[in-house]
Amino acid sequence: MLKYLCDLSIVNWGVVLVRRDVFDWFEEAREELETAEQLFRLGRYAHSCFHSQQAAEKALKALIIHLKRVVHRSHDLVELYEEVREELALGDVVERRLPELSAYYTQSRYPNAGLRRPSAEIGEEQAERCLEASRGVLSAVAGKIGAKI
């Protein structure tokens, strides 16, 4: 029965119980990142930004669930990061990019959310910054929960 409630993960030479839903959230984060990378290669930069944001959000929620057992509904990456900031070192570059990445939850999808046409106005540079920030979040979270990217 324990197998269905949690998985064992080796972290820093110790055994840590990690709930299965933590890995489920992290696996979904990995899927989102892969989707963002594929869309980037296709030149679909606005959509790449959205999926980069989703990857970071789901990774942060995986860590919040791991540490606190519950996560509140929020898409704000800065707010989510504040919940785990003491446990998770993202580095200056990734941390500075969180507000921009967070904004793409809305801006990359809706024509009335700050940009006339996100698909025409969001370019390669923005999408690349989003991907880099998202990769940084996933990498840091993976180290905390014993997952692989």
Provide the phi-psi class of 145: left if phi over 0, else alpha when psi is between -120 and 50, else beta: alpha
CA–CA distance from 40 to each of 16, 31, 36, 82, 139 (Å)? 36, 14, 6, 28, 19
Higher confidence at residue 13 or residue 30? 30
Q: Which CATH superfamily is domain 7-145 in?
A: Nucleotidyltransferases  domain 2 (1.20.120.330)
Indicate the burial class of 97 (C-beta count within 10 angstroms; 0-12, 13-18, 19 or more).
Answer: buried
| Strand-pair category, 6-11 with 14-19 | antiparallel
**Rounded to 5 degrees, what angle do the CA atoms 26, 77, 88 make?**
65
Mean pLDDT, rounded, of the chain: 88
What is the per-residue pLDDT for 131? 99
The HSE-up count of residue 79 (CA atoms within 13 Å, CB side) is 8
Mean pLDDT calculated for residue range 7-25: 63
Per domain, the residue ranges of the chain are 7-145
Looking at residue 84, its pLDDT comes to 95
Q: Cα 50 vs. chain centroid, distance in angstroms?
A: 11
- Band (pLDDT 50/70/90 cuts) for residue 68 is confident
Mean pLDDT to the nearest integer, 96-110: 94
Q: CA–CA separation, 60 vs 133, rounded Å?
A: 12
For residues 1-6, average pLDDT: 37
Q: Which pLDDT score, from 0 to 100, does residue 3 have? A: 37
Q: What is the pTM of this model?
A: 0.86
